[in-house]
Amino acid sequence: MDETESHSPLGSPTISPTTTSKPCSPAEHGMNLMVVLAAIVCAFLCALGLNTMLQCVFQCANRVLTEPLQWIASRRINSGLKKKEMVALPTQTYTNSGSPSSPSNCAICLVEFSDGDKIRSLPNCNHPFHVHCIDKWLISHSSCPTCRNFVKPTDSDHSLHVLVS
């Protein structure tokens, strides 16, 4: 048995305080410094990420608490038309009039209108679209895809009233 070791009452060897550890070589010291530096950088990045996440959570929570009625009303206003409202919009058959001021292509599919195409011009803005293109759009939106004007007039006070009651 070594002179610096002694036995504890349980029989396991213990090291006496008279032992000394070897001093670190410069290479080991540099490696330890790199590990500590990497740990500090990692902790800083984690703290920065946590801070950003918490700011986002607080902003979203604030928005939910302060603007729920306006947000819900705006989502409901632009949530699409009913099938009977969409079918009630006027359709016409396209004929090439040669007028340079009228648009000659569908802004949704970007295909030029040709003679005989069924087109639909929206009531408030008169933007023309292929019937099948605009019908797909109007199922989920209540506004023109070009100018974002609502297809049918909406009363925002009425929509807020409906949400509250």
CA distance 119 to 96: 12
Q: Which domain CATH number covers 143?
A: 3.30.40.10
pLDDT-above-70 percentage for the chain: 66
Range of the domain at 125: 79-164
Q: Would you state the pLDDT for residue 13? A: 58
Strands, sheet with 91-93, edge to edge from the N-terminal-most edge strand: 91-93, 118-121, 128-130
- Do 107 and 145 contact (CB within 8 A), yes or no? yes
Checking if the pLDDT of 14 tops 80, the result is no
Q: Is residue 47 part of a domain?
A: yes
Question: What pLDDT is stored for residue 55 in this prediction?
Answer: 93
Q: Closest Cα partner for 110 from 153, 145, 71?
A: 145
CA angle 123, 78, 113 (to 5 degrees): 45
85 and 110 fall within a common domain = yes
Are 47 and 96 in a shared domain?
no
Query: What is the pTM (predicted TM-score) of this model?
Result: 0.47
Cα–Cα–Cα angle for 103, 106, 110, rounded to 5 degrees: 115
| Number of independent structural domains in the chain | 2
Q: Three-class SS of residue 95?
A: coil
pLDDT digits (tens, 9 = 90+) for 131-146: 999 999 888 888 888 8
What per-residue confidence (pLDDT) applies to 80? 79
For the segment 66-120, what is each residue's pLDDT rounded down to a tens digit?
766 666 666 666 677 888 888 888 899 988 766 666 668 898 999 998 888 999 9
Question: CA 69, CA 71: separation in Å to the nearest integer?
Answer: 5
* Cβ neighbours, 10 Å, residue 54: 10
Count of residues making up the chain: 165
